[in-house]
Each structure stands twice: as C-alpha cells, then as structure tokens.
Amino acid sequence: MQATVITTLPFGSGLDRLLSSTPKRVFWRSSKTGRISSSSRFLSRRRPLAQSAFGDSMGRMRKSLGRRVDDLAKWFLRFKLVSVPARLIANSSYAWSFISRTDRIRTNRLRDRLKQGELPEHISIIMDGNRRFAWNSNIGRDLGHHHGKEKLKDVMNWILDLEIPYFTVYALSTENMRERPEDELESLYDLYISGLDEIAADPRIHSRGVKVQAVGRLESLPSKVRDAIDRAESQTAGHSNFLFTVCLAYGGREEIVDAVREVATDHAKGELALESIDSAQISARMYTANLPDPDLVIRTSGEERISNFLLWQIAYSELHFTDVHWPSFSKNDLYEALESYQSRRRRYGE
C-alpha cells in the first residue's frame, strides 16, 4: 500500500514534550483508502508522579487527552485548508523559536529548584536507543550512533554545570561485542576513537578539570581503540574536578568475576587471609574502585532493566527509566530524572 506524507507536526507525548526537544510526528494519507494515519500513538510520558494513585489518575488523563488531540489532528488534516498552514507552522522558525524560548524558561526554573535540593554525587547513564532513533528518523544506523555521540557531549556539559563530580556511561557491553555485526562494531570503534580524541583536545575539558578514564575488559578492544583511550587518559590525568568514566567492553558479571579472581590469586600468594575477605576487599578490586557507587542510574529508550551494568555498585542506587531515545535526551529529561531522585527517600536498608 502506498501512502503520501501530508505534513509533520511537533506532537510528542503531552504539552510538556511539545515544549522540549521531541521528534516531529508524521501524518500520511493512504492512496488506496484515503485514510489519515500517524506514525505512532500519542502517549504520555512516564513520570515519577505516576507511582502514586493520584499519579495514575493523572497518567490516564494525559493519555486520554493525548489520544483526543491526535484524533483531532488527523480529522483536521483531511482538509488541505488546514494541512497547508499546519505544515507552514510546523516548519516555521518563529513557531519553534517561541517553543524554544518557553522551554528555556521552564528549564531554568527547574534547574534553580534542583540546586536548592540535594544533588547526586555520581550519575550513571545507560545510553540506549541510538538504532531505534535512527529507524524512527529514517536515517542510517551509523548516523544514529553519531547523534548519540554528540548527545553525550551535551549531557556532560549539563552535568558539569550542576557541579556533579562523577559521571559514568555504558558505551559498549561484552554482549554487544558478541552479538553486533562486525561492520557496526567497526563503525562504533571509529566513533569511540574520534570521541575520545575530541574530548582530549577540547579546551573546555581542560579548563574545567575533567579527567577521563575507560573501564572494562579493555584488552579485548582493537589496538586503535586502546591507543585512543591511552591518549585521552594521559592528556587528562592531571585533572581532578570531574571524573568521566566510559565503560567499554564492559559487563557487570565479568567485572565481579575478575575481582574475585584477584582475591583468589592474592589469597593463594599468602597476601590475603581467608578471614579478611569481605565486600570491601572485592570492591577494592573492581574496575571502578576509585569511584563512589552511583547515586542515580538513568536508562533511556523505555527499556526497564539494568543489562549487566555496574551490578555490584548499584545495590542502593536510585533507578530512573525514560522512554526517550538517547539522541533525543534533553536537558529537561535530565532535570526530571534529578527531580525524581530528589523526591525519593534513600533508606539504605532502614
């Protein structure tokens, strides 16, 4: 069945998404039936508020309102008199300037509120959704990964502005290395090399005292990637204001296995008594021994699992899941995750 694209509108998942960096929604008309359709359902975003009964009610209201707006938009777009100006408005720099200005006001207010509360010391992010972003945007897979790399620079700057001292990202898992096609891995390796070199050469990285390190089973990476890691680490080794950690060829189970092997080796050498082996001894042998445990773990793209990331370290971490694909992750999305974090009471077994 052939279809003709009518227009794109900046619909997202509720008014709050309209006022942030949401992808545009595509509407089309079937050449066979003449029916108006859109690319996906108009759903509200998940928010921490939805964890309460009141939040559930608000969530249902947002979904219902979203579906009605979606249906109304499809009805209006049956008429060229409406679809033509709709296309002009959607592509108008003035319209997006207004939305952007409104978004900045909202973001600045949220940032000010966050700074009045307790911010996490260590944020970790599972950067997920590059390929789905590429598919939804009708662009190549490699370009989706490129957008993800550029987004990482933005997010690091936002976290630096909040003066949060530790930031860790999950870039490449051991499972990725086993399952992804070779051509995709080669493309990813090239991205890691260029990204690490760009970070090491960025004057802002040095002026703000950012130290870079990579952790994982790095020996399994190609030598060209290891060389880029060495360059980034050596050129930022003298900095101490902010520690940026990239997990490459990383798996949480593998990290625990490697730490236990070191404990067993030290015991066999007579350097570690059996009765001295405890969680502190294992923690001291983890890849991330120089980091505090993450306070907040964020995962993008709607998946609600940890995927073998920092299994030992996140025993008491707060988890935040967002439906947004990583390349579309906005400053508002980060701030909403932090707002959710501040609304929780961390009990540590109490």
Return the active site residues.
128, 176
CA distance 283 to 333: 31
User: Going by C-beta distance under 8 Å and a sequence separation of 6 or more, which residues neighbour residue 289?
Assistant: 283
Nearest to 41 by CA among 19, 20, 62: 62
| Residue 349, CA distances (Å) to 240, 296, 305, 337 in order | 32, 17, 22, 23
CA angle 233, 234, 236 (to 5 degrees): 70
Structure tokens, 112: 């000010």
User: Going by C-beta distance under 8 Å and a sequence separation of 6 or more, which residues neighbour residue 100?
Assistant: none
Q: Which helix (H) or strand (E) holds 224?
A: helix 223-235
Contact predicate 293/120, CB 8 Å: no
Question: What is the amino acid identity at position 195?
Answer: G
